[in-house]
Every structure is written in C-alpha cells, then in structure tokens.
Structure 1
Amino acid sequence: MPTVSELKEGLWRELALKAELGINGVAISGEALDFVQPGIKAQEQVHCLFEMDFETHTVELPSHFYLPLGLSVPFRWNPKSGYRVDLIGDRTVLIDGSEVIAEIRFRERPAFYGAKTSDGIEMAQIGAHYADRHLFVVYSNECSYKDKGEDCLFCNINYTKDVYGDKGGVFWKNARQIGETAARAYNDGAIDHLTVSGGVIPERRELEYYLDVAEAIQQHTGLDDFNGTATIAAPLDLRNLDRFKEAGYRTTAMNIEIWDKGIYDAICPGKARGGGGWEHWVKALEYAVTVFGHGRVRSNIVAGIEPKRSTLAGLEYLASKGVVGTFAVWCPNPGSELEGHRCPEPGWYLDLAHKLVAIWKKNGITYQHVFDSNASSDTLQHDIYRIEDETLPIFDTVRQLEPAE
C-alpha cells in the first residue's frame, strides 16, 4: 500500500489521464459492452440535456467508469479514439494503442433507476445519477432560443431532442414525477444534492414550474431543505430570485457561458439579445449572492472558446463577488454549430483547473460550496480540490493501513 505522498503522486498521474479521456473520448469493444451491460448492471447514459458523445448512437452506453485510484470519468464515446475499453477475461481494461494502461470498473446501476413513478415512468428517465451523490433533473430539452435561430453555438440541446425524441429522458417531466424520484433517491441514500435544469423558457413559465417542483420535492421527501440548485436563465425581474430562495432551493445557478463580451455576443446570441445581455447576467449573479449567500450561487463558463486569460478573469471576478465560477471542458457536440471544431489540449484544461481551485480558496469558497452548487462532482477542479486537501475516500483507506508509530 502506498504512502499518502505516493498516493497523491499517483492521483496526479490519474488526473492527467482523466483529462486525456475527457478531451479525446474512448472507444469500447463489443465484447466489453456486452460484459458491462449498461442499463442492466452498469449505469447507462441518459440523454436528459445534451449528447456528450462524439457521435449519436442507438446502442446503450455506460455513463461513467472509475480509474484504479477512484477518479470518476464520464464515458464519452468516440469510436475513433486511440483509447479503448476492452475485455481481458473478466476484467475491463483501458488500452492506449496496444498497451493496457489500467483496469477500470463501471459504475453500478443505482437501485432507484429501476423504480417507476406512480404514472409508470422509469425514474432513470426523470433524474440522472451524477458523481458524486448528485441527482440531475432536466425538466425538458425545450430551448426558446431555437425559435429565432439564436441557440448558443456550442449547444446541441435542441438537436439532442430531435435525435432521441421522447426516449432516454428527453421529454417534459411533471413536478410529481420529480418529487417521487427525488424521494426515492434520497431514501436509498444515493444522493445528497439535486439540480433542476432545462432549456431557456419564458420567465413566468420557468418560475411557476420551479416553484411547483420545489413544493413536490418537499412534499414527497419531507425535507424543507432538500439541498437543491435551481439552474435558471437570469430573470429580467431580479426579484424573482427571492422567490426561488423562498421556495426552498439552497443554491441557484445562472450560466454565463462566455466572459469576453464580444465573443459572448457572437457565441450566445439568444442570451445577448433576448436574455438581457452580458451586463444583466453579471448583475443577476451579484444580486443572487445577496439572496442566497456567499458560495451559494454558481455560474459556468464553457472553457476553450475564448482565451484562457479571459476565462480566468471571469472566474476571478465571480469568486470575488461570492459566486462559484466553474468551467466545463468544451465538447464540440454533434449537432451544434461548432461540431467538428477542436477544443484545447488536456494540459490547457489542467492548468485552468489548478488556477481555478486556487481562486476558490483565496476567496473563501469551500469544497462544500462547490459541491452544493454543482450538478456533479467529477470535474477536474473538483478532483484537484480533493487531492490537495486529501479528502478523497482512498486517502482514508491508506491512512487506516499505515503502520502505527
């Protein structure tokens, strides 16, 4: 068993591999796929918001896998990738070219995925189980920016709906279905946090829907504070943010997507023209902190479209105002206007993630703030925070096995 110091060195190497897999995706052999059995044994993908694979598909694919030291990797299928999951005996292994580089394991399908709502819908289609102990509910793939041809250029939310129809979680969920699914996931001990999200819809409709969902979650779980994040468009009437808080959401998220104003106008035309514009989104984020509190408001930037210094300037500014600024690795999703483009190299993202964690810590944003405001905990920056602070579960295992002095 390695020492804690040796473990950290191994985790940094594993994190670099995770970054490679996130950028380049991974292929999988038919034998391995049959063995893993996504949707039966392994947790399957649910296309509740975006198609994040490199190509669309009709076969069931797994959602996540774990590297040997425990880092969770979202499965992004790329049949052209140099990385491949294969089967050796009864072991699923990750192969780079012809070299076996790691034995991996796939996340087991959670028990609540097989349960059904009172109207007969599989709960896996209502809320996706994300790492670590998160439930991600997408009420619909409808985005009103499509009507004017003003979708964000990196986004494939409407394309995903067109391709997958009403299958795989791509349909409107009602408040009761969400309340029942949340209750089952909480009762199973599978989650500690949930996020409600969706495409941009008219403001009044969005507000009323979120209020109904909060009430249903409280009713079915018996929890006044269900640790929920309301992911919304920046409301034109900022007083509506008070109503989200009063309804029971602990945190809120408004994703600005791009920090550079000029690039924002070009990449996010709907938000720039019909959503109040960049200045209004920043104003809404700052106001939200006065309502929800320091570290209880989140805003995401799609990293890799604008220069790194611009993204870092945005993350620094947001943190200084008490906002948990985050970034997502830009995936040139199929069906988006930027399909076929290329994102930066893995090292670019690793550097950005290290700098972001330093920004968080400098501005008093704790890991609990980050956990509570994000839909998942398997980003590079989440991992860096936990490796630096030695809070990943494997650290406890190593400490328990260390000889007593």
Structure 2
Amino acid sequence: MAIGDLVEERKSLISKSKLYEELKIKADLSIDGVNIEKEALHALDVGGEIQEQVHSGFEMDKETHVGIELPASFRLPNGLVSPFKWDKSSNYTIALENGKFILVKKGNKLFEVDFQKRPKYYSLKTSDGQPMHNIATFVNDSNISAFYSNECSYKDKGEDCLFCNVNATKDTYAEKEVIFWKTPIQIGETVAAAYEEGIADHVTVTGGIIPERREIEYYLDVAEEIQKRTGLKDFNGTAVIAAPLDLSNIDRLKEAGYRTIGLNIELWDKNFYQTICPGKARNSGGWDHWLKSIEYAAGVFGHGRVRSNIVGGIEPKEKTLKGVEYFSSIGVICLPSQWCANPGSALEGHRTPEPSWHLDLAEKVVRLQKKAGITYDQAHDASNNDTGLSHDIWKIEDGLI
C-alpha cells in the first residue's frame, strides 16, 4: 500500500474514532435526555429561525410542556443529529456562553452544538388555511412524516400499546398543534412544498390504528394527491399500516405508487407482545398474522422495501435480535428504536436499559442487516427517522458522515 493511502486510511480511522466517541454521547442524550438553561432557550428563536417540536403523533420529552416551545433537534460537532428530548433532571444541559450554545455534562463543558433551521414550508399554509408544519413534520436527512390521524381505535377498548402515548399526546396538545385528521389534499400540498424546497425526497404516511377499509382507501387517496401535486409517479413514499386481514390490500398500496411499506410488529417475543400490545394481539389477526403480512409484503414490495419496527429495550436483547435476524433473512428492514417511557403512556415512570445496551443492540442490528445485503439507501427510504443509533452506525461505517 502506498504511503499516501496509509495516511488517508489513518485519517479515516481517526475520524471514525471521533464519530464513535460522539455517538456514545448521543446515546446518552437519546436515553437520558437533555436540559436547557432558560437563557439559552430564550436566545433560540424557536418557531422562527429554529425548527420547533410538533406533537403530531407522540410526546418524546420527559414531561409535557404546553405553551413552551422547544427545539426539535440539535447537531453535534462531527455531524451527528440528536433529537431534543427535554429532561430537567438530565446530567446534560445546553448552556449559552458568548452567544454560543454549549453542551455541558455535570458542569464540564463538552462542545458547541447548533440547532436545526426551520424549513421554509413550515411557514406556509394549505389551500384551506392549515399550517403545513402541522400536516407533515421534517424529521432529518430529507425525511418528512405525515401523521395523518391521532385516532387509535384501541383506546376505546382499553387496549393501547403500553409504550404508546399517541392518545395522551392528542389530548394534551389538541388546542394548539394537533389537527385530528389530515385530508389527502392537505398532505399532497405539503409534500409538494417540501419537495419543491429541496429539503425532502421521502415521505412517510402513518397514524393511529383505524378500521382496515377506511385506512386503505385513505392511503390510496393520499398517494393520488401527492402524485398530482408533485408530478411524481414514484414519490418515494412509505405507507405505515396495520396488518391487513385482506392481504391483497398490500398489493393495492404498491400499485398506488408507494415505494415502501411499514408494518410494525413492535415486539418479537409473543408473550411480551400479548402483554405490551393487547390491541394488536387481539386484533388484525394477532402476532402470527402480523408476521404473515410482513412476509407477504416482502414478496410484493421486494428486498429492502419493507420495514418492521421493534421497540428496543422492552424485551430481552436476544429476543429482539432473533427477530432482526429473521427479518434480515427475508430482506425486511428492522432497526429497533430506543424505547423511552414517555409521558401519558401506561409505562410512564419505567426505565429503559442503559445507553450502552442500546448501542450494543444497534451495532449487532447493523451487522445483521448488512450481511443480508440490505443497503443504507434502502434503510433510508423505508424509514421516517434517520437519527436512530442504527442509522448513525450505518452511516459511519459506510463513510456517509
């Protein structure tokens, strides 16, 4: 190997090492959250220059904060993006010093951070006067997410997933932020505006569990409106649905123009599933039918075009990894999320595993997915959030950051 190549390789290893050091801090922030000093929050133009949190689906902070605008995310020095999860008791605090925002841990200054700028389309309105930032939120790395409804039919039966706070979030923020039901036209106009701005090239359409026929017809209407308003037949959309009893509805979504599909099984262990996800266990055919639907979708959409989330940190790690290994073997993307006990969920007050536990899981997950021939581009196209630990590891290993 030439000397020049050795130098470049060494630089790459150093850069990778720095990124992994930063990732450890990000893992802490993802699990333990971050506080922010009043002076620092007041100095941020949240909702003006800086992108604000929009509670279209879930509250991810440690506590609710009606009337207090908080930033959506912030960037660490080497390019990793951390969602802003507010926790006043965190060991980490963002402070203001000489006009700069500094991340501090237990009184020790770590480094400067900056915040995600507010997309231009956030200041626009739909043709019927609704703010576009309430229709589809910018997540990160060219993703937007249209959470079309806060309705979840499991609530009325007392069968909400125990980790989920979608119904509680709707009740908390209904007056200011939540549009209960987004119309296909509203979503089509908002996606077109975000695509035209150049900030996004992928949209996830998702929401609470609703009756199957109503859900499928709605998704078809949304696809039609996005195509009409963007001029794109392939608009790079992910349809996140409940497992349909009629599996041919999966074919209909593919024919309508969705490139990818999401069917979130949530947990791999059936016993955990019965307890933690009572609505899914007793409806939509239960765990076995959810798996059957995912397998069927893999045959329709193809390798790397189906995703199924597992909530990382509720069941034992080896159980989750068995699920990831199986999904990898059939070309399904599975990048477990980092579970935090969110306010309003039945598990509020419980504790997730240590950050190192989640990092280890993420590393093992990426190895399994890459071994199965799934690419980062496929993971990106099928996901609505590129800020997870698995995404970061994938980008670091592939030199994408």
User: C-alpha separation between the residues in 2 aligned to 1:362 and 1:287?
Assistant: 22
Q: What residue is the counterpart of 1:372 in the other structure?
A: 381
1:47 aligns to what?
55
Give a deviation string over 1:274-313, Cα, whole Å, max 9, x none: 1211100000000001110111000000011100000000
Alignment of structure 1 residues 97-246 onto 2, 5 Å:
97-246=106-255
Q: In the TM superposition, what is the alpha-carbon distance from 1:165 to its structure 2 partner?
A: 1.0
Alpha-carbon shift at residue 170 of structure 1 (Å): 4.2
Give the 5 Å matches for 1:1-400. Answer: 3-58=11-66, 59-392=68-401
TM-score for the superposition, normalised by structure 2: 0.96
The residue identity in structure 1 corresponding to 2:222 is: V
User: Does structure 2 retain, via aligned residues, the 8 Å contact 1:143–1:199?
Assistant: yes
Superimposed CA distance per residue, residues 354-392 of structure 1 (whole angstroms, 9 cap, x where no aligned partner): 000100111010001100000011111111011111111
Cα deviation digits, residues 154-202 of structure 1 (max 9, x gap)? 0001000111114224421101110000001001101010100000000
CA distance in 2, matches of 1:170, 1:369: 31
What is aligned with 1:402?
none
Q: Secondary structure at the match of 1:252?
A: strand
The question of whether the paired residues in 1 share the 8 Å contact of 2:335 and 2:362 is answered with no
The CA distance in 2 between the partners of 1:300 and 1:5, in whole Å, is: 31
State the Cα deviation string for residues 82-116 of structure 1 (Å, max 9, x = none).
11011001100111111111100000001111111
Letter in 2 for 1:195: T
In structure 2, give the amino acid aligned to 1:157: V
Cα pair 2:47 2:118 within 8 Å, conserved: yes
Superposed displacement of residue 4, structure 1: 2.1
Q: Which moved more, 1:168-177 or 1:38-47?
A: 168-177
Q: Partner of 2:25: helix, strand, or coil?
A: helix
Aligned residue identity for 1:138: F
C-alpha separation between the residues in 1 aligned to 2:177 and 2:340? 20
Greater Cα offset, 281-290 or 157-166: 157-166
The number of equivalent residue pairs is: 392
Secondary structure at the aligned position of 1:236 is classed as coil
Tell me, yes or no, if the aligned pair for 2:170 and 2:178 is still in contact at 8 Å: no
Q: How far 1:3 sits from its partner (Å)?
A: 2.4
| Partner Cα distance (1:284, 1:141) in 2 | 24
User: Which ranges in structure 1 are unaligned for 5 or more consecutive residues?
Assistant: 393-405
Give RMSD over aligned pairs. 1.1
Give the residue type in structure 1 aligned to 2:131.
Answer: E
**Further displaced range: 187-196 or 159-168:** 159-168
Runs of 4+ more than 6 Å apart: none
Given that 2:376 and 2:394 are in contact with CA atoms closer than 8 Å, whether structure 1 keeps it comes out as: yes
SS in structure 2 at match of 1:109: coil
CA contact (8 A) 2:135 2:179 kept: no
Q: Could you tell me whether the CA contact under 8 Å between 1:164 and 1:170 is conserved in 2?
A: no
SS in 2 for 1:326: coil
Q: Which amino acid aligns with 1:259?
A: W
Aligned equivalents of 1:347, 1:155: Cα separation in 2: 23
Which blocks of at least 5 consecutive residues in structure 2 are unaligned? 1-7
1:396 match: none
TM-score normalised by L of structure 1 = 0.95
Give the partner amino acid of 2:54: V
1:398 maps to none
Identical counterparts, % of pairs = 57
